[in-house]
Every structure is written in C-alpha cells, then in structure tokens.
Amino acid sequence: MPPTFSSLPHAGSILQLKIRLLGLSPMVWRRVLVPESYSLRELHGEWKESWG
C-alpha cells in the first residue's frame, strides 16, 4: 500500500518522487511520497517497498 500524507511522520516538506524502470516496454513506474529528511538508505527502503 503506498504511503499517504497521514501515514508519514511529520518531517517538514513531503517530496513526491516518480520512479521508473528504464529499458522496459511498456514503461513501469511508481509514485512515492517521502519526507525530505529521508536518508538515501531510507529512500532505498521505500523504493523496494513500492515495487512489492
């Protein structure tokens, strides 16, 4: 289930990212919402979670 504004911890601004996999047809992508304070490690965790 994708995160919602209410499920994200308050950390200032929320970033909306569009992540797509290159080289696939049709194009495969996900949109995720993350706090701007996320580290690269946390962002990687969200990326993996968004792909199931």
The 10s digit of each residue's pLDDT in 21-42 is: 899 999 999 998 989 999 999 9
Alpha carbons 5 and 7: distance in angstroms, whole number:
6
pLDDT of residue 48: 87
Asked if pLDDT for residue 52 goes beyond 90, the answer is no
CB atoms within 10 A of CB 39: 8
pTM of whole model > 0.75?
Answer: no
Please tell me the chain's helix, strand, coil percentages from 3-state DSSP, rounded to the nearest 5. Answer: 25, 30, 40
Alpha carbons 18 and 20: distance in angstroms, whole number:
7
Integer angstrom CA distances of residue 36 from 20, 22, 39: 20, 25, 9
